[in-house]
Amino acid sequence: MSSLKITIGAVNTRPGSSREYKTGGWRTMRPQVDVEKCIQCLQCLAYCPDGAISKSENAVQIDLDYCKGCGICAKECPVKAIVMLKEEK
Amino acid sequence: MSRQGEERELFAPGHRMCAGCAEGIAVRNILKEAGPHTIAAIATGCLEVVSTAYPQTAWEIPVIHAAFENAASVAAGVEVALRELGRKEGVNVMAFAGDGGTFDIGFQALSGMLERGHDVTYVCLDNEAYMNTGIQRCSSTPWGASTTTSPPGSCSKGESQPKKPLAAICAAHDIPYAATATVAYIKDLRRKVRKALDTEGPAFLHVFTPCPTGWRHGSDDSVELSRLAVETGVFVLWEAVDGDICNLKVTYKPKKRKPVAEYLKKQRRFGHLTDEDIQRIQQEVDEKWEKLED
Amino acid sequence: MARQTALTVKGNMATALGAKLCRPHVVPAYPITPSTLFPEKMSEYIADGELKASMIRVESEHSAMSACIGASATGARVCTASASQGIALMHEMLFIAAGMRLPIVMAVGNRALSAPINIWADHQDTMASRDCGWLQFFAERNQEGLDLMIMAFRIAEDERVLLPAMVGIDAFVLTHTMEGVQVPAQEDVDDFLPPYTPKHGVLDPAHPATFGSFGTPEVYQEFKYMQTRALEDSPAVIDQVFDDFERRFGRRYSRITPYRCEDADVVLLTMGSMTGTARAAVDELREQGEKAGLAKLTVFRPFPGDQLKEIAGHVPGLAVVDRNISPGFGGAVFAEAAGTFVNERQRPLIKNFITGLGGREIFKENIKDMYHRTKQAVEAGRVDQPVEWVNLNREVLP
């Protein structure tokens, strides 16, 4: 059990603290971005249920700490710049 | 889409939604449109349970979860309090609830809030069953769908009732804005969210959100299914501004509707349906569109 | 002493006046007999500009408490009124309001619960909610209803408490009966009750917080413990507030008020409007040479076991009058009183009398009857029948 002091009325004053929980461990498939093919349309960024995708300099990057491997990004990419590979771990 | 890269995530990763959950897609994009000057009341359901496990929360805006059936009443209380305290200016008040907490148990509170004219934007995230409790039927469940309380069997075809036309019922409250949207069409969704928030008074958004776990489809198919629902005509994208359903405007009409079988066959919750059943669904969709076109 | 205005008002008006003086911001309310006059009066005050607030004319009592929760969490001072079926309907929200530590104040027109449907006085509605974590006060007279509403805000909003509170006035006997009251001046109530400034959390985009978290087995028990401690430690705050109220407004309140108990053979424990009748009965018994005493409960939650022990510990017999029933056991006050004394070396024999249900009149003769039955038990040195129903018409029972 945690020893983080609890608040009156269970009011949680730490917005976005879910980031402490790394859902990346859920994956069985892992996305791989081909940065050459990526046109930065950012549809994958919009469609990611977990907000794990962000803009990189010339393409997108996927935060593997949170990516659950759902595969939506790969499926929706208009130029097929993302492929899903079997998660090795 | 270009703003997407710079906008701050107001629904943080680390939440416990199933992989591929369309509610996650919806909420992230809706909050990006709403911005940080937003307070939301959320109902018990998948969204609430996956995002607020103490001491962690995925929400970067203030939210209040009270119970299952009353997101609308709680939001009404928030809105009135803000006005009385002189803090309403520039603050969006929203409510988020699932189809369970809206179509069924939440119906009374929603109707009351709409009728009293509160300046609240209510978003219903519709995955067509009580998913958080394990896929039970709701009045939002379409005819023929398999759920744990409407299972197909030798004496049953699955859900026996048609889907309740909730968004139309809300529009019939004569509210200033009501619309339907889904996750495949992000621009459309965001435009409607913007319109709802900018409208003074109650606004209702019915957002269709496929559920890989409940509908039994691949986690990567959630966006594709939401697109197919629209392209086959099963889910109609419309908005009603300033009044009743006679003023309903279809915001996207597929040039040639795809056969509903394309949509149904990707989901195992419809796997038991015969060709005859699918034909029946096709007919109902065709008739619906005939009426819309009049 | 503060200047106060003398008025003759019904109980609902007294609680509405008390609430109005506390300057609530938001009043979500739904009509139900016998409390309906409360939202009506609040609507009038607002419509006439006497109170700067907003009503929310919700579509059910469940939504009334839900809206109270939303408004209170936003930082507003909030109150409402309900009774009977309405309290029952909002039942889940009562627990939630307390769990979220929101100092909402509710006036309750104590009324029987269906079935059969009955609109008259008894305490079943508040007793059925005694576990929700709310402070519970009971008024004997309209003056108490008015005063307790004012004190309830101050106690509920105290940083050491931060719990919702309900103030009960008996249906019709108080809600609809005119009595003379002294109404404190607005400036004096403003001085007594500072503005509500919640420090534990407010819904505010400038400081985003999540209210109503999902509490797993790892933390839930600790939250309940914390909430329970706040309620159990509130007597210190209640007593302080009672003292301050007396200093400013000249009226003395106690969590239990003893009357002629020092040498009593039997003390009657009462709550609500029946206390007036009981006091008259005690005086008559005393004139007849009987050593009767009266203890009036003003605070039911948190149960004032400490004061009950002081007042009745040394007394041979305690007659607990319950205007409610916990079927299968006895009355709610009886259970609490018995629990208070169960491990004490010095304790009275305790008898429980169920009466006054659904507006059944409680007569002086009934009270005297309860006194005598308890005295008999004391003389016999044992209680053969712990729970007895009084003024029950056995003739109509099949």
| Segment C228-270, tens digit of pLDDT | 999 999 999 999 999 999 999 999 999 999 999 999 999 999 9
Which residue type does C357 have?
Answer: L
Distances (CA, A) of B189 to B194, B196, C372: 9, 10, 76
Residues C162 and C261 in one domain: no
Our measurement of the distance from residue B97's CA atom to the centroid of its chain's CA atoms, rounded to an integer in Å, reads 8
8 A C-beta contact, residue B42 and residue B31: no
Q: What is the tens place of the pLDDT at every residue in B73-102?
A: 999 999 999 999 999 999 999 999 999 999
CA B44 to CA B250: how far, in whole Å?
31
Are the Cβ atoms of C162 and A2 closer than 8 angstroms? no
Which DSSP helix (H) or strand (E) runs through A14?
Answer: none
Query: What's the confidence (pLDDT) of residue C272?
Result: 98
Complex ipTM tops 0.90: yes
Query: How many domains does chain C divide into?
Result: 2
CA C306 to CA C316: how far, in whole Å?
18
**Does C209 lie at the interface with A, CB-CB under 8 angstroms?**
yes
User: Which positions ≥6 away from C243 have C-beta within 8 Å?
Assistant: none
Residues C208 and C263 in one domain: no
Query: What's the confidence (pLDDT) of residue B293?
Result: 83
Q: What is the tens place of the pLDDT at every residue in A42-76?
A: 999 999 999 999 999 999 999 999 999 999 999 99
- The boundaries of the domain holding residue C87 are 4-249
Query: What's the confidence (pLDDT) of residue A2?
Result: 54
CA C348 to CA C268: how far, in whole Å?
12
Beta bridge pairs of residue A84: A31
Measure C217 CA to nearest chain A CA, in Å: 10
Query: What's the confidence (pLDDT) of residue B3?
Result: 76
Residues C89 and C227 in one domain: yes
Q: What is the tens place of the pLDDT at every residue in C175-214?
A: 999 999 999 999 999 999 999 999 899 999 999 999 999 9
Q: C interface mutation test: which of B85, B92, B110 has the most C CBs within 10 A?
A: B85
Whether residue B11 lies inside any domain: the answer is no
Residues C201 and C273 in one domain: no
- The boundaries of the domain holding residue B46 are 22-293
Characterize B67-94 residue by residue with b for buried, 16 or more Cβ atoms within 10 angstroms of its Cβ, and e for exposed. bbbbbbbbbbbbbbbbbbbebbeebbbb
Residues C381 and C350 in one domain: yes
Residues C226 and C288 in one domain: no
Torsions phi, psi for C38 (to 5 deg):
-60, -55
**Does A18 lie at the interface with C, CB-CB under 8 angstroms?**
no
pLDDT higher for A4 or B257? B257
**Which residues 115-134 of B are in CB contact (within 8 Å) with C?**
115-116
Beta bridge pairs of residue C7: C181
Q: Residue A82 half-sphere exposure, CB side, CA atoms within 13 Å?
A: 28
pLDDT-based confidence at B224, cuts 50/70/90? very high
Which DSSP helix (H) or strand (E) runs through B11?
Answer: none
| Rounded average pLDDT over C7-28 | 98
Are the Cβ atoms of B59 and C71 closer than 8 angstroms? no
Residues C169 and C230 in one domain: yes
Whether residue B12 lies inside any domain: the answer is no
Residues C292 and C354 in one domain: yes
Which chains have at least 3 CB atom pairs separated by less than 8 Å from chain B?
Answer: A, C
**Which residues 108-167 of C are in CB contact (within 8 Å) with A?**
162
Residues C269 and C181 in one domain: no
Residues C389 and C357 in one domain: yes
Query: What's the confidence (pLDDT) of residue A3?
Result: 64
**Minimal Cβ distance to B77: which of C56, C207, C210:** C56
A24-86 topology per CATH: Alpha-Beta Plaits (3.30.70)
Residues C147 and C291 in one domain: no
**Does C54 lie at the interface with B, CB-CB under 8 angstroms?**
yes
CA C287 to CA C289: how far, in whole Å?
5
Give me the CATH number covering residue C299: 3.40.50.920
User: Which positions ≥6 away from C195 have C-beta within 8 Å?
Assistant: C77
| Residue B250: strand, helix, or coil | strand
In this structure, is the dihedral angle defined by the CA atoms of residues C66, C72, C76 and C78, taken in order, positive or negative? Answer: positive
CA A77 to CA B35: how far, in whole Å?
26
Nearest CA among A35, B77, A68 for reference residue C58? B77
**Minimal Cβ distance to C99: which of A7, A9, A12:** A9
Query: What's the confidence (pLDDT) of residue A1?
Result: 46
pLDDT-based confidence at C329, cuts 50/70/90? very high
Q: What is the tens place of the pLDDT at every residue in C153-179?
A: 999 999 999 999 999 999 999 999 999
Give me the CATH number covering residue B62: 3.40.50.970
| Rounded average pLDDT over C310-316 | 97
Relative to beta strand C4-9, strand C179-184 is antiparallel
8 A C-beta contact, residue B135 and residue B18: no
Are the Cβ atoms of A6 and C219 closer than 8 angstroms? yes
Give me the CATH number covering residue C240: 3.40.50.970
Query: How many domains does chain B divide into?
Result: 1
Whether residue B5 lies inside any domain: the answer is no
Whether residue B98 lies inside any domain: the answer is yes
Residues C199 and C233 in one domain: yes
8 A C-beta contact, residue C268 and residue C370: yes
| Residue C121: strand, helix, or coil | coil
